[in-house]
Amino acid sequence: MNKKIFLIPKDDLVLYPPTISLIKVMLKLGLKVVCIGTFSDFEGKRNLESLGVEFVPIYRKLKNRSRFRVVNWMVIIYRALKYKRDMNKYLKDANIGEDDLIWFVYSNIIAYIQKYIEKYNYVIHFYEFEDFSLKGKSRLLHPQYDVYRFFTKAKALIHCEYNRALITNGLYGLKTNPFILPNKPYESEDTNIETPKEVKLIVEEIRKKVEGKKVILYQGIFNSTERRLEEFCEAIALLPDNYVFLAMGGQGGYFEDIKRRYTSEKIIYIPFIKPPHHLLITQMAHYGILTYHPAKKTYVGVLNPLYCAPNKIFEFGKYGIPMVANDVPGLKLIFESYHCGQTISYPITAEKIKDTILAMDNDFENLSRGARKYYDSVDLEQIVKEIIS
């Protein structure tokens, strides 16, 4: 393919492993990729550049840590306007042809650059269901923002999960048949990233601690409401001594709070490890934990956890790791279809978790095969090829 893809990511690529996977799929298909954004993982960026990816350092840095709110607003507006100016100039000078494609990962910065993107062929890629409307000051700042026009002019709408795709279509009266591109990790055979020395040391230390144990693993962000872990920390005390609970990805207040409240030889806390190196820990797991509790009383805060589409479900599936989750349709339907895990009905208790895991032990081989079957059910290359064509 001679087509060039101009990818506009939602944020720093280090925070979005699915975007990194998408880039690797595009490269495998022979596409030229220009990433208009940032990648703070120097090693990962260098690897992608060696494979032919061009990075254009125009980054929508909007956050500001100043404790003075008025300064925050001034800085945010300045950065957004600078991003708008820089993006407009780049797109005009980039010689984007009729065969080329802008791949826009949806974010609220679209209100600033919608009119520039609409001049070209583009697709919109959603990682989550969002409130696409503008309110208050934002509405006044962008009177020409028209999300319906932006959606309908796109060559394709891409979602990572079927239910949220149809909800978005229904809310905006769209007649588009959306593409479903799950958040499956992708490693092509030409990817060769050396594991950093500090990661190797962590992995070796953990491997020694869990040798001969059945590892129950949680990996991901730590959030006291949506990603609640208390009951899992309590359940490990009820399980036999050959079980151990790993909590990986730690940073922030909730991580520190969990560490303080649940200290045990059977609970091991692991800091954030950059993808894909975290998979060295994932491979040790016997069971994988997923926890997605609707917490905020808003459409966005409820729909995204209920119809979650985590990349970690594929990371577990890749290694044939059965899964345990709270009862949400986005996971329950997959578990039932592929026989790769169990959901726990509400109210969730440590006793229920213990009973579920011990019952799964009796069916472990079948559940493991089901997890791998789910992983194999998604062909990223074929889906991206269909979108491109």
Domain ranges of the chain: 4-189, 197-376
* pLDDT for position 33: 98
* Phi, psi dihedral angles at 103 (to 5 degrees): -110, 100
Direct distance between the N- and C-terminal alpha carbons of the chain, in angstroms, rounded to an integer: 10
Tell which CATH classification among 3.10.580.10, 3.90.550.10, 3.40.50.2000, 1.10.10.10 matches the domain 4-189.
Answer: 3.40.50.2000
User: Percent of the chain having pLDDT more than 70?
Assistant: 93
Give yes or no for a contact between 364 and 339, defined as CB atoms under 8 angstroms apart: no
User: d(Cα 54, Cα 304) in Å, to the nearest integer?
Assistant: 32
Summarize pLDDT for 116-147 with one digit per residue, the tens.
999 999 999 999 988 777 666 666 667 778 88
Average pLDDT over residues 6-28: 93
Amino acid, single-letter form, for residue 39: F
Helix (H, G, I), strand (E, B), or coil: what is residue 27? helix
Average predicted confidence (pLDDT) for the chain: 90
CA-based nearest residue to 360, from 311, 287, 273, 290: 287
pLDDT band at 184 (very low <50, low <70, confident <90, very high): very high
Structure tokens, 131: 């409130």
Q: Within 13 Å, how many C-alpha atoms sit on residue 155's CB side? A: 17
What is the structure's pLDDT at 251?
Answer: 76
Fold match, 4-189 / 197-376: yes
Rg (alpha carbons) of the chain, rounded to whole number:
22
* Nearest residue to 359 (alpha-carbon basis) of 374, 344, 337: 344
Q: Between residues 199 and 71, which one has the greater pLDDT?
A: 199
Give the pLDDT confidence score for residue 14 in this predicted structure: 87
Residue, of 153 and 66, whose pLDDT is higher: 153
**DSSP of 151-166:** HHHSSEEEESSHHHHH
Token pair 């020395």 is at which residue?
197
| CATH placement of domain 197-376 | 3.40.50.2000
Q: What is the pLDDT of residues 62-85, one digit of tens each?
A: 555 555 555 567 777 788 889 999
The two structure tokens encoding residue 318: 């890749």
Report d(CA 39, CA 16) in Å as an integer.
10
**Beta bridge mates, 219:** 248
Residues 357-384 pLDDT 10s: 999 999 999 999 999 999 999 999 999 9
pLDDT score recorded for residue 71? 52
d(CA 375, CA 184): 8
pLDDT at 189: 54
pLDDT tens, residue by residue, 229-276:
999 999 999 999 999 999 998 778 899 999 999 989 999 999 989 888
